[in-house]
Structure 1
């Protein structure tokens, strides 16, 4: 299983439009962050978690030529806005794209992309096959995926565990039951928005504490804003086994 971080930024991305801070003006490629998303290549199976506004650029940059399914963590725009750009995969693969999400996520997508679900479709619109999921494990072409229920302030969000890899974004509370689903992961991905307190995301210190409690062999932080600081500087502050992810980072697991 090869996992590629397509984007590791927060809802505005980094650099932020109009911002002249040291992170937004950094020349370090690791400080340039598309909206959060990951791609899984598991044998022949190609999956993406979330299609944010940068989805087209992410697919081109990562060289993804086949996509078998999309899984959504939640309904916020920075995780869904790029869904229209599945069209090239429709054309190339000549089939509908399965999209997996909770009922409220699928309903939001149906509202935002109403033209896709219209009874009189305009030629060339995305071809989508919605698949409703809940908190129960499900499979895609024989690969088991375990939802990890967490909270983004008061909004229920799903993280996902595939094998020994667990991905959680947009979260500031992990229920005890979800901790048990995560334990034993070799690689954990967790959101760490910034150093200052935030109403709906883990801060850097909170994410470090959660990572220590979970105890994965390696933890990567994602969904980071420009307020977190320079990648190179923050890396020096982190405990062993914890690192900042960056766009383009690849992780391979057996």
Structure 2
């Protein structure tokens, strides 16, 4: 299984528009972060978790010409706003599979009503095959996926475990039974927004405590804001086996 980090930034990305913060002015490519998303590939399959407003560019810069489906963690714009840009895939492949909580599907059907229309549909709109996720395992072709239920302040979010890889973003609280699903996993990806506490995201301390609780072999931090600091400096401060993810990073499990 190959994982490509399409984006590792928070909802505004880095640099933030108009910001003079030193991290936003950094020339280090690892300090430039698109909105958070990953591409997961195995055998001849390719799935994306979340498609935010940078989705088109992310697909272009990774030379991704095929996706078998999209899994959504939740409905916020930085995770869903790129849905219209699945059209080139649809024109080549036909209907695109999407997987999400029923609440997320309802939100998408309002924001992208022209995609979800069943009558008099605009011919240029893509067509989706909708799969409702509940908190129970399901398959992507031959691969078992275990949802991880969590809270993003008052918004429910799903993380996902795929074999020995777990991806959780926009997490603030996770119940113990959900943590048990990913304990001692090989690779964990978890969000850490900044140094200071935040109402709906782990800060760095909370993320490191969560990593210590899960005890993965390796952990990668994502959904990073400029307020976490420079990539190079923060990376040096992390415990052994914990790394800052960055855009275009690829790992193989």
Common fold: TM-score over 0.5: yes
Residue aligning to 2:110:
111
Residue aligning to 2:184:
184
1:127: how far off? 1.4
Aligned CA RMSD, in angstroms, stands at: 0.7
1:124: how far off? 1.1
- In structure 2, list runs of 5 or more residues that go unmatched: none
Quick check: 1:164–1:184 contact (8 Å CA) kept in 2?
Answer: no
TM-score (norm 2): 0.98
Residue aligning to 1:2:
2
Residue aligning to 1:47:
47
SS at match of 2:181: helix
Task: Give distance in 2, aligned partners of 1:184 and 1:42.
Answer: 22
- In structure 1, list runs of 5 or more residues that go unmatched: none
Quick check: 1:73–1:157 contact (8 Å CA) kept in 2?
Answer: yes
Deviates more, 1:52-61 or 1:122-131: 122-131
- Post-superposition CA distance 1:82-102 (Å, at most 9, x none): 000111011111x10010001
Task: Give distance in 2, aligned partners of 1:198 and 1:140.
Answer: 34
Aligned residues: 252
Residue aligning to 2:122:
122
- Post-superposition CA distance 1:117-144 (Å, at most 9, x none): 2221112111111111100000011211
Task: Give distance in 2, aligned partners of 1:245 and 1:202.
Answer: 15
Q: Which runs of structure 2 are paired with 1:184-223 in the superposition (5 Å)?
A: 184-223=184-223
Residue aligning to 1:99:
98
Task: Give distance in 2, aligned partners of 1:174 and 1:244.
Answer: 21
**Does residue 1:27 correspond to 2:27, yes or no?**
yes
Task: Give distance in 2, aligned partners of 1:110 and 1:84.
Answer: 12
- Post-superposition CA distance 1:170-194 (Å, at most 9, x none): 0111110111101131000000000
SS at match of 2:185: coil
Residue aligning to 1:15:
15
1:16: how far off? 0.1
Quick check: 1:48–1:70 contact (8 Å CA) kept in 2?
Answer: yes
